[in-house]
Structure formats: structure tokens, C-alpha cells
Amino acid sequence: MRALGRRNGLEVDATEDAGAFTPANLARYGAVVFLSTTGDVLTGPQQTAFERFIRAGGGFVGVHAAADTEYGWAWYGRLLGARFKSHPQIQRATINVTARRDPSTVGLPRAWIRMDEWYNFQANPRPLVRVLATLDETSYSPGDGAMGADHPIAWSHEFQRGRAWYTAGGHTDESYSEPLFRRHLLQGIRYAAGLTPPRIVGVTSTVRDRRLLMTVRYLSCDPCRGRLELFVRGRRSIAPIRFGGQVGRARSALLPRGRWAFSVVLRDPSTGLTDSARRSVRVR
């Protein structure tokens, strides 16, 4: 996790000290990762601090045995989405990547074949979560806890103003040497921390000296890239957007008089995911 953070511009603190779960300390972070935790890990006051962290917009990432954690904490079960039931022996299986445009699945093969310890869950988390990938139970031996044709294995959802992302992969040490699994995990963390994908929440524009001055407000997308596209008399011109503090600004070249369409396009360079907004402006 530390290496993943260093290589991708994320600050990572790793601890097995539950005393870190205080309101003041948690407020320093964008997301908390339960990396194959098991059993009861937090006291009552620590649980309350974590609940407040999520309700304040924080993120949660659960990896593998995070689903085998805190069975007596009902709130955590809802945050997580589903609890562990059983697993067969470690074996190769096919993952059907169903959400092709999610940050944590972009670039994964549609049929992703890998070796791991595959969890069966006590209940299907659908439809309370957005399922990102499912297991093809015909590709391996799921054991007595088989879930059938719909066997979610990775999912995400918004929860009480925060975000939660879970993957059941990651039992084997070898998982963390797999480029595709590392990418899957990294983008799940970025989603939980509110860093991706870009989401435009407002565009304002004015014309000064026959130049368009545009301001875009957005959520997530850090770092972000963007462009202002103008469509004048059948031709397209592009101006770069300058970013700072979840606000982007751009200034066009000199425009002829008339009403012209323009588009604002934001792009997350890590995933290639985009958001756009189309407007028009009158130049007098």
C-alpha cells in the first residue's frame, strides 16, 4: 500500500493501532482502508469516530477479509455491503467485469482470469450497491456456499454522504504483484477518497472584449486535465483550462459576433474518464 501510494501521489499511513480512530486524526484522511482485517478491531468510541468520518464525506475501502470483520456492528455491515460466508481452496477463476466505465475497472479485461481465494457471501449485496464485477462459478469450484449465476465480487456505493468500495480479491501475496489487481485497488482507493471520476457541478461564462471567460466548478478529478472547446462557423478551437481549488478557468481567443456553442471537458488522466458540459454564449 505504501508503494502504491508513493508511485501514484497518495500519502499512506499504515497502522495496526486502533487508537488512530479518533475524530481529530481521521479528519486528516480522505479514505480508510481495511486491508484484510478480521474479527473485532474497534472499540465502541472508535466505531463512533469512524461513523462520523464517513458521514462527513470520508471514504472506506474494504479488501478481502474486511468482509470477515465486526459481525456485531450493524452499521459496518451496511457500509461494507455483504458479509463473508465461506470460501473454497485457492484456485483460478474468471471474473466478469460488468461495470466497464468505473474508475476501478477501466482497463481490465471483460473476462479477467486470476488466482485467489474466492469468497461466498451471506447475502447478495445487490441492489443496495453498484456491482462492478461478478464471479463466473462455472470457471471454478465455489464449494457449498455457491451463490449461483449472480455472484458479486467487487462493488461500490455512496453511503451516508461518504463512499465505500470493496473487492474480495487480495488474499494471496501474489495479488499485490499483479499490475491489473494493483490498478484495480488503486482506483478503488481513489474513488473512496473522492479523487475520481470528474464531475462538473457548475459552469459560468461571460464575454469581455469579445473573448469568452469561462469558470467551471467540479468535484473529484485530482489531478485533472481539461479543455474549453468553441464551435464557431463550423470550426472548432481549443483553449486549455487552468485548475486550482476545484475550480477551472479558461479564456478564448477573439471571437466574431454571434451566438456560439462551447463545451467544457474534464478528464481524469489516471483513468481516462471524462465529464463534459455544453453551453452557448452570445458575442455582441
Q: Which of 110, 116, 162 is CA-nearest to residue 133? A: 110
Q: Give the tens place of pLDDT for each residue, 149-201.
A: 999 999 999 999 999 999 999 999 999 999 999 999 999 999 999 998 899 99
Q: What is the pLDDT of residue 150?
A: 97
Q: What is the pLDDT of residue 240?
A: 96
Q: Which residue has the cell 486535465?
A: 225
CA-CA distances (angstroms) from residue 199 to 88, 165, 228, 265, 274? 40, 18, 16, 10, 8
CA atoms of 190 and 4, how far apart (whole Å): 11
Q: What is the pLDDT of residue 225?
A: 93
* Cβ contacts of 254 within 8 Å, gap of 6 or more: 209, 210, 211
Q: What is the pLDDT of residue 184?
A: 97
Q: Is the pLDDT assigned to residue 221 strictly greater than 90?
A: no
- Domains of the chain from N-terminus onward: 2-192 (3.40.50.880), 199-283 (2.60.40.10)
Are the C-beta atoms of 152 and 133 separated by less than 8 Å? yes
Q: pLDDT-based confidence at 271, cuts 50/70/90?
A: confident
Rounded percentage of the chain residues whose pLDDT exceeds 70 = 100
The model's pTM is 0.86
Q: What is the pLDDT of residue 201?
A: 95
Q: pLDDT-based confidence at 142, cuts 50/70/90?
A: very high
Q: What is the pLDDT of residue 196?
A: 82
